[in-house]
């Protein structure tokens, strides 16, 4: 008797076919690239059609403007890199928190508090730039850590969900910024500006991070080097240290980690606080490298962009570097698009469309892999429930 006679050809075929082939690493990279290119191309096409309908612009204006503003020249590339700099720093902190299984939705507020703390040190404390600039960055990191520490305290003391507390603290941070900018003893500008805008004094040139490169072309801030160094350090710490292994254990299975002696309060709370410190540092870098003063809207959604970068990179720290550059190029290109006369509200639609397109490939791949895993599980279940059929093969 054959297996075909025993259970039928239709039932045997899946059993003898074996598990589906796994994709090679090269094939996975190729599929990822193809999905990203296709998704972003569709997003830009939709944006072009939207602008054509709303304005008299030509369909190719969006593509051309985005390219001109982000990649067309050394100065445009430098602008993209400088825009990506704080986004990358925020993403590194978000990656640390997510590795521990904690979703920190508060980088925006933590960045704001970091900027406030840094501005107070830079504008209120005198001293040589060699001391004040590092002190400003350290104070910014402490400000962000303090704000994330509030969420950590609420989580482990009162059981408040981290997602809710960090999200709501963003709005509290906006009010703290407004208060600081309207108090003369804090950050209110010493001279009344013509527009009567609430803002801080501008940082003097000697307290700004130095820039490197050509005066008319490719110039990048020292903050970019700092961001890349931090990326390397975080990647090494998460992959090669005991601390990184414990974070991964905590993120995968909190109960198993607790049984192995890992403290949820110390390790999980520490990861959240460290994530806030990175967001605060990003605020300090923005203050000393690009903004040079604190104003309403200072954060400019950089915190949320950094969180998106970490999610798109899927906990891969080194992958946050190219993804952050993509977001920086998107910001630079969007600014140039607005300068060509396209209404700002349309630019604000174009950017989310491209961001949404960047989020789709990981979701598609995740669903694809999940379906493959389900097929493998079903075949294994069929083999286990019909062992006699396999043994009857002649």
328 assigned to some structural domain:
no
d(C-alpha 329, C-alpha 305), whole Å: 12
**How do residues 166-206 score in pLDDT, each as one tens digit?**
999 999 999 999 999 999 889 998 887 666 788 999 999 99
279 assigned to some structural domain:
yes
DSSP state of 104: -
CA 269-97-148 angle, 5° bins: 55
Q: What percent of the chain has pLDDT over 90?
A: 49
Please count the other Cβ atoms lying within 10 Å of the Cβ belonging to residue 142: 21
- CA 101 to each of CA 109, 128, 249, 254, 269: distance values in angstroms, whole numbers, following the listed order: 20, 42, 9, 8, 11
194 assigned to some structural domain:
yes
d(C-alpha 162, C-alpha 176), whole Å: 20
* Residues 194, 161 share a domain: yes
pTM, entire model? 0.85
d(C-alpha 114, C-alpha 284), whole Å: 6
Please state, rounded to an integer, the average pLDDT across all residues of the chain: 86
d(C-alpha 392, C-alpha 1), whole Å: 6
What pLDDT was estimated at residue 16? 44
Structure tokens at 318: 């080194």
Among 295, 321, 102, 86, residue whose Cα is nearest residue 181? 295
* Residues 51, 198 share a domain: no
Q: Which residues pair with 27 in a beta bridge?
A: none
Q: Pick the residue with more confidence: 336 or 279? A: 279
271 assigned to some structural domain:
yes
Structure tokens at 273: 């606080």
221: three-class secondary structure by DSSP = strand
Number of domains in the chain: 2
212 assigned to some structural domain:
yes
Among 103, 118, 87, residue whose Cα is nearest residue 279? 87
97 close to 272: Cβ distance less than 8 angstroms:
yes
336 assigned to some structural domain:
no
- CA 275 to each of CA 119, 246, 279, 325: distance values in angstroms, whole numbers, following the listed order: 20, 16, 6, 20
Under the banding of pLDDT at 50, 70 and 90, the label for residue 385 is confident
* Residues 203, 150 share a domain: yes
* Residues 36, 89 share a domain: no
* Of the residues 290, 323, 356, the one at which a domain ends: 323
* Residues 99, 28 share a domain: no
Query: Rg of the chain's alpha carbons, rounded to an integer?
Result: 25
* Residues 317, 349 share a domain: no
**Beta-strand relationship, 211-213 and 219-221:** antiparallel
* Residues 50, 91 share a domain: no
Average pLDDT over residues 113-135: 94
What pLDDT was estimated at residue 44? 79
What pLDDT was estimated at residue 25? 66
Write out the DSSP string of 296-318: TTTTTTHHHHHHHHHHHHTT-TT
74: three-class secondary structure by DSSP = helix
**What is the length of the chain?**
394
* Residues 374, 260 share a domain: no
**How do residues 349-384 score in pLDDT, each as one tens digit?**
777 887 788 778 877 877 888 888 888 888 888 777
Phi then psi for residue 97, to 5 deg, are -65, -45
Structure tokens at 210: 């130095």
What pLDDT was estimated at residue 15? 46
* Residues 303, 155 share a domain: yes
303 assigned to some structural domain:
yes
* Residues 136, 38 share a domain: no
Domain range for 282 is 84-323
70 assigned to some structural domain:
no
* Residues 282, 154 share a domain: yes
* Residues 237, 304 share a domain: yes
């Amino acid at each position: 008797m054959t297996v075909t006679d025993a259970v039928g050809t239709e039932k045997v075929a899946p059993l003898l076919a074996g598990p589906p082939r796994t994709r090679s690493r090269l094939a996975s990279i190729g599929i990822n690239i193809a999905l990203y290119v296709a998704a972003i191309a569709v997003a830009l096409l939709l944006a072009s059609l939207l602008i054509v309908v709303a304005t008299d612009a030509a369909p190719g204006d969006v593509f051309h403007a985005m390219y001109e503003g982000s990649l067309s020249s050394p100065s445009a590339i430098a602008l993209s890199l400088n825009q990506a700099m704080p986004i990358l720093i925020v993403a590194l902190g978000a990656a640390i928190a997510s590795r521990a299984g904690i979703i920190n939705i508060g980088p925006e507020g933590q960045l704001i508090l970091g900027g406030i703390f840094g501005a107070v040190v830079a504008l209120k404390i005198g001293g040589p730039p060699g001391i004040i600039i590092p002190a400003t960055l350290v104070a910014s990191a402490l400000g962000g850590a303090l704000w994330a520490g509030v969420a950590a305290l609420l989580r482990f003391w009162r059981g408040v969900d981290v997602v809710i507390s960090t999200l709501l603290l963003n709005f509290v941070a906006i009010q703290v910024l407004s208060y600081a900018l309207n108090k003369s003893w804090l950050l209110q500008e010493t001279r009344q500006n013509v527009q009567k805008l609430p803002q801080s004094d501008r940082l003097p040139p000697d307290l700004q991070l130095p820039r490197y490169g050509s005066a008319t072309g490719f110039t990048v801030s020292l903050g970019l080097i700092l961001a890349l160094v931090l990326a390397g350090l975080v990647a090494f710490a998460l992959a090669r240290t005991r601390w990184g292994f414990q974070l991964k254990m905590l993120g995968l299975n909190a109960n198993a980690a607790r049984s192995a002696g890992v403290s949820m309060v110390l390790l999980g709370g520490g990861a959240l606080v460290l994530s806030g410190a990175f967001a605060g540092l990003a605020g300090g870098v923005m203050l000393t490298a690009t903004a040079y003063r604190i104003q309403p809207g200072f954060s400019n959604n950089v915190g949320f962009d950094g969180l998106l970068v970490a999610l798109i990179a899927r906990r891969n720290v080194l992958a946050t570097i190219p993804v952050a550059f993509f977001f920086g190029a998107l910001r630079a290109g969007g600014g140039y698009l607005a300068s060509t006369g396209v209404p700002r509200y349309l630019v604000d639609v174009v950017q989310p469309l491209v961001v949404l397109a960047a989020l789709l490939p990981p979701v598609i791949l995740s669903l694809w892999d999940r379906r493959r895993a389900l097929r493998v599980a079903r075949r294994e279940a069929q083999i286990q429930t019909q062992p006699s059929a396999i043994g009857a093969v002649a």
